[in-house]
């Protein structure tokens, strides 16, 4: 705990409401050390734990992480299984320690493709953490931005076909309520570590006015100091949301 208190003193003053992170670079981190990719994901999961605790300590309200995309199924069965096992272990522990950590859990993505055990843990985590105030962690699991938008479009089209809505009634606000992220404010800051500078189907609708921050640090090495640097960079930006300078 001491480390968080110490860090907190040095932490940036203006904390954005919602930070989203693409946890990238686990594979390269492992390769550099001659280890299997799974080893990178394991350390990546630890990095997530540390960042989630730190985010809570600095008063962040929403932390969204890209844990598994709709495209990640193309990876080897071994790697997919390893990531799923890490998620299961993480959720099991999170449920066990829930009253101590008091983090609200939410999931973006179609969880029906996940194992019944993982689905059950995710449902339990959401249900039992609903009451907590403070940070909410949104896990993007089997998530894709285009897939999310398509589902919302289909849902609205179905309401129209059923005579419950009219096309001209669709507004940005109403459309947002059909996304996995319904009720969650848009991200202010999207962080991508590992030197890649692309968005990879992450929060496409929600990031319309987000600030992006890229760093060469690989996700398993990403720690509280890196989050501070990202927040400091964010605080230097001038957000205009399309308005004049
Ligand atoms: C991207 O790095 C990372 C992933 C596809 C998986 C992220 C999963 C975790 C960090 C573990 C999940 C567990 C918890 C508890 C959140 P990459 O493999 O694409 O890296 P590379 O680009 O270097 O190959």
pLDDT-derived band at 11 (thresholds 50, 70, 90) equals: low
Q: Is the CB of 41 under 6 A from ligand 1?
A: yes
What global pTM score does this model have?
0.94
Using the mean position of ligand 1's atoms as its centre, give its distance from the Cα of residue 25 in Å.
7
- Let me know if 69 is exposed, middle or buried by CB neighbors in 10 A (0-12, 13-18, 19+): buried
Contact 28, 194 (CB under 8 A): yes
pLDDT digits (tens, 9 = 90+) for 118-154: 999 999 999 999 999 999 999 999 999 999 999 999 9
pLDDT of residue 242: 84
pLDDT of residue 64: 99
pLDDT digits (tens, 9 = 90+) for 176-198: 999 999 999 999 999 999 999 99
pLDDT higher than threshold 80 for residue 1: no
pLDDT of residue 7: 46
Using the mean position of ligand 1's atoms as its centre, give its distance from the Cα of residue 164 in Å.
41
Catalytic residue among 53, 72, 186, 221: 72
When pLDDT is averaged across residues 82-96 and rounded to a whole number, the result is 98
Name which residue sits closest to atom 18 of ligand 1, judged by CA. Answer: 27
CA–CA dist 82, 87 (Å, integer): 9
DSSP state of 224: H
pLDDT higher than threshold 80 for residue 6: no
When pLDDT is averaged across residues 87-112 and rounded to a whole number, the result is 97
């Amino acid at each position: 705990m001491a480390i968080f208190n110490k860090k907190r003193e040095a932490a940036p003053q203006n904390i954005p409401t919602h930070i989203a992170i693409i946890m990238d670079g686990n594979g390269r981190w492992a390769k550099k050390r001659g280890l299997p990719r799974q080893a990178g994901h394991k350390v990546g999961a630890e990095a997530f734990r540390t960042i989630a605790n730190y985010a809570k300590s600095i008063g962040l309200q929403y932390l969204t992480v890209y844990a598994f995309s709709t495209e990640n199924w193309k990876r080897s069965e071994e790697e997919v299984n390893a990531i799923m096992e890490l998620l299961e272990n993480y959720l099991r522990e999170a449920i066990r320690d829930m009253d101590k950590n008091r983090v609200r859990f939410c999931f973006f993505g179609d969880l029906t493709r996940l194992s019944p055990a993982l689905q059950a843990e995710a449902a339990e985590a959401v249900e039992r953490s609903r009451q907590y105030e403070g940070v909410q962690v949104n896990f993007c699991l089997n998530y894709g931005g285009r897939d999310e938008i398509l589902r919302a479009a289909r849902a609205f089209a179905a309401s129209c076909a059923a005579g419950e809505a009219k096309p001209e009634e669709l507004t940005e606000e109403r459309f947002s309520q059909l996304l996995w992220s319904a009720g969650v404010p848009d991200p202010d800051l999207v962080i991508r570590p590992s030197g890649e500078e692309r968005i990879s189907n992450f929060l496409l609708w929600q990031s319309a006015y987000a600030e992006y921050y890229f760093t060469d640090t690989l996700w398993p090495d990403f720690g509280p100091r890196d989050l501070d640097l990202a927040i400091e960079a964010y605080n230097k930006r001038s957000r205009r949301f399309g308005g004049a300078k």
